[in-house]
């Protein structure tokens, strides 16, 4: 009985270790970005174009340059082909004895090995490239080598060293005003914060990188940044939001024939489904990811893909398939000397042996896993101890040097001392000491004052930004305060009209619906933004009220794209109702028959777009009627334009409102379409 209990506890430990491994893998599947600084336009990266230029090149240096470009182009397609062209580049660069060309060849060969999963050779070639670029004085190429080395160290889970190289590369790219490469460094730094379980901070860096690529109009790198933003949502367990982004991005990667990123997107989708406990979907997408990795022979990603497949098969209670995939993952991990992955896979294998009842092998694999984990831990401790020991030895030697200097000075003074010069020497030393002390105090005081001024200036700047933000919020609330009375006045006018015309039942229905609507308006009166679902509820209530007022003599429809999660997106409160109101009062009221209003919502170009379409009399005819007899003055549209202006200024977006007049084939007005574009805001 005791042995059974011990075995049960042991199995629980194995399962717990396996679970931790699965969560860790998610952090390691972020995109690897190759920064190879070969100064050429992006269109030259096309393989066919490069092959044509190769035939026209007439010098070894020019041909070496083109071979380097071909090597880089093949890194995410076929690493063996990439190495073939990289080695050709190296041969020609050596023949030309051009240090920069040799550095470029080392750089692309190193990156090809990184994509292949051979981190040892990648580090060797990239360090050689770094030294050659430094010798040639090429700052931008030096920065690119630093960035590539940062990616290699990140792939080895050496996060402090990776962050150091990325930071150096970012500073260098900023000096050379290379915005694109600086954005990639922001992206890489964000990846490290993701690994450190700080998704909010990571998302900030990814958003900065995305903004740079958006200004440049680079669709592929915009998609890459959005992938990483989606990964942060997965870390926060917002799996549906993450899946929404992943699925939208796959067509972009396929369009650009980027096999690596396509495989990575499918792997991200698989992990999201796995986290949602939808294992069949997870398995299907992970198998697709594996096929893409096999096409480019990406060993690192294949290793983790096989490990994840084993996890999924295990969860699907298919131990045989799980065992086969764990074995394959272990082979890759040993080949790449990835000790972290080896430890994780061994722990997973132990759970399979337990399910098979093979407790001997379960114990041996778990023991190996623990030993690997302990060795990794011990290495970290040894490094930390070595650092402390070095600091201690340095401090001790400095103290010994100071002591020896003091002894030498005392000996010299003793030899030269005499009665006549003793008093003079002491007096001189005292005066010098007083002067030095005064200078020292003065310098310390200046430094303190400068630091204090810097601190005050920084605090004043923060307060200035906070005041600006509060002013924007107050200005928005002021506009909201104008809209609510305006809206209520129109509703009360409608009730009054029903009562004066003897439609008491309609007035009663109107009051009931109005009370519900006012309750919702009051509930959300203090909120700057509300969910799209709540906004649509208020809009529908308002339209029902207007339908009663117009004696059911008009129809309306609200059609929202099925891909939009109305309970997860935010919109400014009461942003749609004034537009619908304007369409009814100015477009439909003055039409005699077949009145219809349609509200459509879609996501387009990263904006939430609404189209409010009426088949009324058109703006020109409405303006003529308004001049003849002003019965209703609409402030809603003007207030919305002011609100959008404040939102754009506060959030640095490009929200806008457009009005289109509609005509038939004979140029007769057939209605009006109002288009409003709002930034995507997720709850």
pLDDT higher than 80, residue 539: yes
At residue 12, the pLDDT reads 28
| pLDDT, the chain, mean | 79
At residue 27, the pLDDT reads 34
> Which of the four pLDDT bands, split at 50, 70 and 90, describes residue 433?
confident
At residue 569, the pLDDT reads 93
Tell me how far apart the terminal alpha carbons of the chain are, to the nearest angstrom. 52
Does the residue 616 lie in any domain? yes
Q: Which residue has the higher pLDDT, 181 or 497?
A: 181
CATH number at residue 308: 1.25.40.10
pLDDT higher than 70, residue 480: no
At residue 599, the pLDDT reads 96
List, in order, residues 6 or more apart from 681 with CB less than 8 Å away.
Answer: 529, 569, 570, 571
Q: Which residue has the higher pLDDT, 418 or 553?
A: 553
Distance CA 223, CA 213 (A): 9
Model pLDDT for residues 147-166, shown as the tens digit of each residue: 989 888 888 878 888 888 88
Q: What is the mean pLDDT of residues 589-597?
A: 87
Residue 114, SS3 per DSSP? helix
Residue whose entry in the numeric block shows the structure tokens 């003897």? 502
pLDDT higher than 70, residue 481: no
Q: Which of 136, 50, 122 is nearest to 93 (CA)?
A: 136
pLDDT higher than 80, residue 628: no
Pairing of strands 595-604, 529-531: unpaired
Least confident of 257-271, 482-496, 610-624: 482-496
Q: What is the mean pLDDT of residues 84-112?
A: 88
Distance CA 14, CA 9 (A): 9
At residue 313, the pLDDT reads 93
Share of the chain above pLDDT 90, in %: 19
Model pLDDT for residues 164-196, shown as the tens digit of each residue: 888 888 888 888 888 888 888 888 888 888 887
Does the residue 510 lie in any domain? yes
Least confident of 32-36, 343-347, 554-558: 32-36
Let me know whether 671 and 529 are in one domain.
Answer: yes
Let me know whether 363 and 486 are in one domain.
Answer: no
Q: Write out the E strands in 312-361.
A: none
Does the residue 668 lie in any domain? yes
- Of 338, 373, 408, the residue at which a domain comes to its end is 373
Least confident of 521-525, 625-629, 656-660: 625-629
pLDDT higher than 50, residue 20: no
CATH number at residue 668: 3.30.565.10
Sign of the Cα pseudo-torsion (430, 431, 437, 438, in order): positive
Least confident of 163-167, 467-471, 583-587, 647-651: 467-471
> Which of the four pLDDT bands, split at 50, 70 and 90, describes residue 423?
confident
Model pLDDT for residues 36-54, shown as the tens digit of each residue: 333 333 334 467 778 778 7
Q: How large is the C-alpha radius of gyration of the chain?
A: 35
Least confident of 26-40, 171-185, 314-328, 596-610: 26-40
Share of the chain above pLDDT 70, in %: 81
Model pLDDT for residues 333-352, shown as the tens digit of each residue: 888 888 888 888 888 888 88
At residue 393, the pLDDT reads 43
3-state SS, one letter per residue, for 555-588: EEEEEECCCCCCCCEEEECCCCHHHHHHHHHHHH
3-state SS, one letter per residue, for 397-457: HHHHHHHHHHHHHHHHHHHHCCHHHHHHHHHHHHHHHHHHHHHHHHHHHHHHHHHHHHHHH
Q: What is the mean pLDDT of residues 66-94?
A: 87
> Which of the four pLDDT bands, split at 50, 70 and 90, describes residue 115?
confident
Q: Are 115 and 34 a contacting pair, CB within 8 Å?
A: yes
> Which of the four pLDDT bands, split at 50, 70 and 90, describes residue 97?
confident
Q: What is the mean pLDDT of residues 615-640?
A: 73
pLDDT higher than 70, residue 32: no
- Of 373, 393, 424, the residue at which a domain comes to its end is 373
> Which of the four pLDDT bands, split at 50, 70 and 90, describes residue 469?
low
Model pLDDT for residues 64-79, shown as the tens digit of each residue: 888 888 898 888 778 8
Does the residue 537 lie in any domain? yes
At residue 389, the pLDDT reads 39
Model pLDDT for residues 384-417, shown as the tens digit of each residue: 434 433 443 454 455 455 656 666 666 666 766 7
pLDDT higher than 50, residue 683: yes
Q: Which of 141, 145, 57, 66 is nearest to 100 (CA)?
A: 141
Does the residue 634 lie in any domain? yes
Q: What is the mean pLDDT of residues 533-555?
A: 87
Model pLDDT for residues 231-243, shown as the tens digit of each residue: 899 888 899 999 9
pLDDT higher than 80, residue 463: no
The domain tally of the chain equals 2
Does the residue 252 lie in any domain? no
Does the residue 664 lie in any domain? yes
Let me know whether 501 and 363 are in one domain.
Answer: no
At residue 219, the pLDDT reads 86
At residue 368, the pLDDT reads 84
Q: Are 242 and 233 a contacting pair, CB within 8 Å?
A: yes
Backbone angles phi, psi at 471, to 5 degrees: -60, -40
Q: What is the mean pLDDT of residues 629-655?
A: 77
Model pLDDT for residues 210-224, shown as the tens digit of each residue: 888 888 888 888 888
Domain that holds residue 541: 479-679
- Of 337, 357, 373, the residue at which a domain comes to its end is 373
Does the residue 312 lie in any domain? yes
Six-digit token string for 34: 């190759």
């Amino acid at each position: 009985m005791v042995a059974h209990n011990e075995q049960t506890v042991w199995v629980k430990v194995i399962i717990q270790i396996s679970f931790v491994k699965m969560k860790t893998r998610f952090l390691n599947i972020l995109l690897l970005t190759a920064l190879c600084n070969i100064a050429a336009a992006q269109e030259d990266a096309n393989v066919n174009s490069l092959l044509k230029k190769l035939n026209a090149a007439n010098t070894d240096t020019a041909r070496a340059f083109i071979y380097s470009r071909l090597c880089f182009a093949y890194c995410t397609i076929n690493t063996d082909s990439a190495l073939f062209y990289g080695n050709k580049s190296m041969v020609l660069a050596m023949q030309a004895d051009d240090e920069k060309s040799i550095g470029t060849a080392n750089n692309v060969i190193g990156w090809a090995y990184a994509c292949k999963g051979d981190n040892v050779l990648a580090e060797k070639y990239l360090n050689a490239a770094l030294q050659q670029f430094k010798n040639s004085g090429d700052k931008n190429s030096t920065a690119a080598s630093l960035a590539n080395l940062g990616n290699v160290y990140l792939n080895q889970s050496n996060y402090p060293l990776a962050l150091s190289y990325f930071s150096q590369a970012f500073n260098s790219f900023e000096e050379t005003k290379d915005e694109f490469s600086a954005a990639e460094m922001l992206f890489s730094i964000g990846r490290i914060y993701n690994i450190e379980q700080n998704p909010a901070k990571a998302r900030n860096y990814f958003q900065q990188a995305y903004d740079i690529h958006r200004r440049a109009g680079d669709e592929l790198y915009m998609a890459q940044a959005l992938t990483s933003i989606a990964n942060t949502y997965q870390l926060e367990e917002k799996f549906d939001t993450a899946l929404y982004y992943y699925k939208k991005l796959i067509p972009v990667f396929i369009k650009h024939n980027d096999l690596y990123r396509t495989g990575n997107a499918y792997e991200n989708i698989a992990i999201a489904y796995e986290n949602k406990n939808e294992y069949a979907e997870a398995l299907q997408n992970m198998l697709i990811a594996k096929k893409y990795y096999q096409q480019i022979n990406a060993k690192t990603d294949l290793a983790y893909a096989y490990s994840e497949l084993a996890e999924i098969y295990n969860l699907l209670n298919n131990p045989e398939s799980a065992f086969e995939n764990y074995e394959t993952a272990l082979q890759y991990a040993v080949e790449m000397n990835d000790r972290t992955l080896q430890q994780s896979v061994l722990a997973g294998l132990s759970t399979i042996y337990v399910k098979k009842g093979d407790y001997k092998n379960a114990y041996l694999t778990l023991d190996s896993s623990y030993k690997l984990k302990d060795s990794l831990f011990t290495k970290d401790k040894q490094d930390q101890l070595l650092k402390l020991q070095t600091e201690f030895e340095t401090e001790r030697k400095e103290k010994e040097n100071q002591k020896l200097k003091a002894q030498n000075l005392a000996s010299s003074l003793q030899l030269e001392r005499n009665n006549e010069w003793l008093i003079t020497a002491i007096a001189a030393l005292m005066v010098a000491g007083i002067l030095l002390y005064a200078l020292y105090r003065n310098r310390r005081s200046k430094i303190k004052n400068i630091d204090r001024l810097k601190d005050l200036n920084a605090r004043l700047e923060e307060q200035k930004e906070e005041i600006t933000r509060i002013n924007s919020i107050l200005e928005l609330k002021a506009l909201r305060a104008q809209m609510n009375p305006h809206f209520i006045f129109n509703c009360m006018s409608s009730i009054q009209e029903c009562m004066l015309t003897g439609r008491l039942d309609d007035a009663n229905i109107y009051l009931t619906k109005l009370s519900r609507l006012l309750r919702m308006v009051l509930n959300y009166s203090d909120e700057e933004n509300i969910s799209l679902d709540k906004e649509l509820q208020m809009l529908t209530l308002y339209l029902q009220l207007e339908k009663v007022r117009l004696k059911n003599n008009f129809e309306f429809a609200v059609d929202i794209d099925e891909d939009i999660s109305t309970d997860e997106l935010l919109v400014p409160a009461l942003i749609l109702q004034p537009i619908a109101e304007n369409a009814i009062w100015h477009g439909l009221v003055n039409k005699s028959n077949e009145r219809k209003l349609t509200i459509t919502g879609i996501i387009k170009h990263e904006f939430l777009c609404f189209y409010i379409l009426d088949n009324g009399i058109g703006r020109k005819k409405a303006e003529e009627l308004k001049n003849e007899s002003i019965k209703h003055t609409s402030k809603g549209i003007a207030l919305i334009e002011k609100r959008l202006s404040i939102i754009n200024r506060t959030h640095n977006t490009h929200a806008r409102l457009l009005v289109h007049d509609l005509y038939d084939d004979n140029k007769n007005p057939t209605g009006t379409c109002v288009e409003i574009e709002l930034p995507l805001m997720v709850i």
